[in-house]
Structure 1
Amino acid sequence: MGDRVFTIGILGASHIAPLAVIRPARRRGVRLGAVASRRAGAAAAYAEIQHIERAYGTYEELLADSSIDLVYNSLPPSEHARWSIASLRAGKHVLCEKPFAMNATEAREMQAAARESGRRVIEAFHDRYHPLSHQIDAIVNSGRLGEIVEIRADFSVDMPFAETSIRHDPKLGGGALMDLGCYPVHWVRTLVGEEPRVTFAEAALNPLGADSSIAARLEFPSGIAAQVSCTFNGGQPSSTMDVIGTRGDMHIKNLVFPSQGHSISVTRDGLTWMSTVGGRETFDHQLDAVVNGIASGEPLLTEDDDPIHNMEVVDAIYAAAGLDRTWV
């Protein structure tokens, strides 16, 4: 890119984009080149409110814009594979919202397109780039907890059923596991550094057939057991993880949005140590990592095989719970 300012284009006039890329881009001096919506009026209004340079009434127009370096795909999960692949083939790098795809097959197709195009497609697990995530890894790797025996991870929010909501429509990629549970799956996978098999799962469904809550048991090759759970019926938002070892335990609160307040609690030999980790908003750390990684060529934590493996576990949880996903 030489000395040219890094430029982002946004697919979808979404509610998440201001938090995920627009405000972080402004704080970093990254250019917001364009936004596209299938409704031209919506794109124009969004661009005016968010002070984005150009608005397009089709996604194809944005992909044809030669000034765009990175496409942020904030479309519904059902559109992630199609438009991420189109973006890659148009010569753009892609930061794709989670869940990465509708299933692991689509995830593999997306990564194949990245390899063929020589561009990068990165899953937007923003929490993974925050210092809290690195500190959790460091505590486990230090041996303070001994050998890890079990991990329990949960992400719960209060999101009452609404028939018109993307998050509750399974055909658009809705459901608690796709929207929330992909995080706990990612936490346990990356912490252990292995790929698990699903031994049990059960779900409660909404009237459209999407899971409103789901829980699963996982087993890793090393023998570590994990429980992951999520629900749309959880009251106050809560994202927690417990790591149980042979010498001590660790409890973490608010893994998803640590800048809003979080804690690490380590208990060993009857004593408990409480700590926090300094950092900015997770999305600022993510954008820094993505821009720097693209510029340097350094690999990132949420690209290549990582999104594929996460979707493989999501697929396996749905299969174990007996959910019909024939539309996927």
Structure 2
Amino acid sequence: MALAIQAVTFAQQYAYSWLHPAPKKTDQPLKLGVLSSAQINAAAVIHPTETHPDVILYAIASRDSATAKSQAHKYGFLKSYGSYDDLLEDPAIDMVYISAPNGLHFEWASKALDAGKHVLLEKPFTSNAMEAKKLVEKAEKSGKILMEAFHWQFHPAAHCFRQILNSGKYGKIIQTHAIMTSTPEIPGGDVRWQYDLAGGSLMDMTYVLSFTRYALKADLPLEVISAKARPAKHDPRVDAAMDAKLLFKTIEGYDVHSTIYTDMDRAWKMGVIPRFWELPSIEVETEQAKIYFYNAMMPHVYHYISITDKETGRTTYEKHYSGGPQWLETGEAYWSTYRYQLEAFVDKVRGRQPAHWVTNRESILQMETIDEVYRKSGLPLRPTSVMAVSA
């Protein structure tokens, strides 16, 4: 259940910030600016920055100056700004993290690049694929680093999951199924329900497509076979839930059928029991086994990778909180997905080779896939910003 696991990771990261004191910072650490006062900020970038020796919490901006000051005082930012523009005009800031509503991603990432800042941009990358392509073009021209914050991909558990699939030990992949839901529902006033701000379950829970494409190392699907949306009660353009079937071709050249399911208002079990156990996960069926990555979104809180042999029915389990095929000796067992992500982002900004990276091409392909699912479902694409249209 998405809301529950997010609440747990917020509490966990707060605790770790006390248990693991801030390290001594380098002589010239990167200065981080945060655009928005979103709830996700603490777990996603603030606490990870506290334990990174080469980044400091420099400035935070909100559309309300009092809120910005309050957040700066609470978390130890050196400065606060009552507008996003004011923060971007600060020449001292090296990089920004943007967690504004989906529909504002293009505008503020574009302005940040224009201001000469490196950008860590929350998922989904943009409102649609057209915006994604234009934003990437701007990043390439600016020479600045732009990355979509698919934090889960940076965790050792994700790398070990892919290593299992890549090993060939269990034969070819036949099909996949990914799910992400919320019970109780996402609150009614949340921006994720607003069409004009690029809301919808497929947008907010785009992890299911990320899980799937990551597992398959796939680009665009050959076909979106079907897509059925359950419209939100207040606005039929917004998908409260999305159930889709896609056909991919792997780089090895064989077809894989995949299903995805997202739901921001998941029905309770038997109408009375919230589905607390239903965490964002993916199952991959191969010729010889079923491989299940439970809680792929927040594996630092809790996860397991189960491997069930189809012939014997025997199931084995794996858990990975540090090390792994990409991080090797880098990282600590207490690091969150976000902390690993920040490590990679700083490495990239500093000109080092990161252990993992979400390329801009991947982000464009992700948005193109989302667009295709919306088209197949009969719902309109999320609206393009005026700034993107004129760009």
What is aligned with 1:272?
A: 315
Q: Which amino acid aligns with 2:339?
A: D
What is aligned with 2:11?
A: none
- Residue of structure 2 aligned with 1:135, choices 160, 164, 189: 160
Q: Does the C-alpha gap of structure 1 residues 38 and 162 become closer, same or farther in structure 2, counting only changes over 3 Å?
A: same
Give 1:162 deviation, angstroms. 4.1
Give 1:327 deviation, angstroms. 3.6
2:279 matched to 1:245? no
The normalised TM-score by structure 2 is: 0.80
Q: Does the C-alpha gap of structure 1 residues 326 and 36 become closer, same or farther in structure 2, counting only changes over 3 Å?
A: closer
1:201-233 deviations in Å (ceiling 9; x for gaps): 001111123111101111112311111111113
What is aligned with 2:229?
A: 203
Matches within 5 A, 1:117-266: 117-160=142-185, 162-180=187-205, 182-195=206-219, 196=221, 197-206=223-232, 207-209=234-236, 210-221=238-249, 222-234=254-266, 235-236=275-276, 237-266=278-307
8 Å CA contact retained: 1:73, 1:94? yes
Percent identity between matched residues is 31
What is aligned with 1:35?
A: 60
Q: Distance in 2 between matches of 1:42 and 1:263?
A: 39
Q: Which amino acid aligns with 1:216?
A: A
8 Å CA contact retained: 1:64, 1:90? yes
1:68-100 deviations in Å (ceiling 9; x for gaps): 111100100111001101111111100000111
Q: Does the C-alpha gap of structure 1 residues 162 and 257 become closer, same or farther in structure 2, counting only changes over 3 Å?
A: closer
2:36 matched to 1:4? no
Secondary structure in structure 1 of the residue aligned to 2:57: strand
Moved more, 273-282 or 92-101: 273-282
What is aligned with 1:109?
A: 134
1:36-87 deviations in Å (ceiling 9; x for gaps): 1121122111111222110111211111112211110010011100110111
8 Å CA contact retained: 1:81, 1:106? yes
Give 1:164 deviation, angstroms. 2.3
Q: Which amino acid aligns with 1:291?
A: V
Secondary structure in structure 1 of the residue aligned to 2:92: coil
The normalised TM-score by structure 1 is: 0.95
What is aligned with 1:316?
A: 372
Q: Distance in 2 between matches of 1:43 and 1:312?
A: 35
Secondary structure in structure 2 of the residue aligned to 1:33: strand
8 Å CA contact retained: 1:12, 1:35? yes
Q: Distance in 1 between matches of 2:60 and 2:75?
A: 10
Q: Distance in 2 between matches of 1:117 and 1:159?
A: 43
Secondary structure in structure 1 of the residue aligned to 2:51: helix
8 Å CA contact retained: 1:145, 1:244? no
Give 1:138 deviation, angstroms. 0.3
Secondary structure in structure 2 of the residue aligned to 1:46: helix
Give 1:326 deviation, angstroms. 6.8
Secondary structure in structure 2 of the residue aligned to 1:134: helix
8 Å CA contact retained: 1:107, 1:308? yes
1:3-33 deviations in Å (ceiling 9; x for gaps): 5211110000111100100000001132011
2:311 matched to 1:285? no
What is aligned with 1:22?
A: 46
Q: Which amino acid aligns with 1:140?
A: L
Q: Distance in 1 between matches of 2:192 and 2:338?
A: 21
Q: Which runs of 4+ in 1 moved over 3 A?
A: 297-300, 325-328
- Residue of structure 2 aligned with 1:54, choices 53, 57, 79: 79
Give 1:298 deviation, angstroms. 3.3
Aligned length: 326
Moved more, 107-116 or 261-270: 261-270
Q: Which amino acid aligns with 1:275?
A: E
Secondary structure in structure 1 of the residue aligned to 2:182: strand
Secondary structure in structure 2 of the residue aligned to 1:324: coil
8 Å CA contact retained: 1:163, 1:208? no
Secondary structure in structure 2 of the residue aligned to 1:224: strand
Query: Structure 2: which 5+ runs fail to align?
Result: 1-25, 267-274, 323-334, 385-391
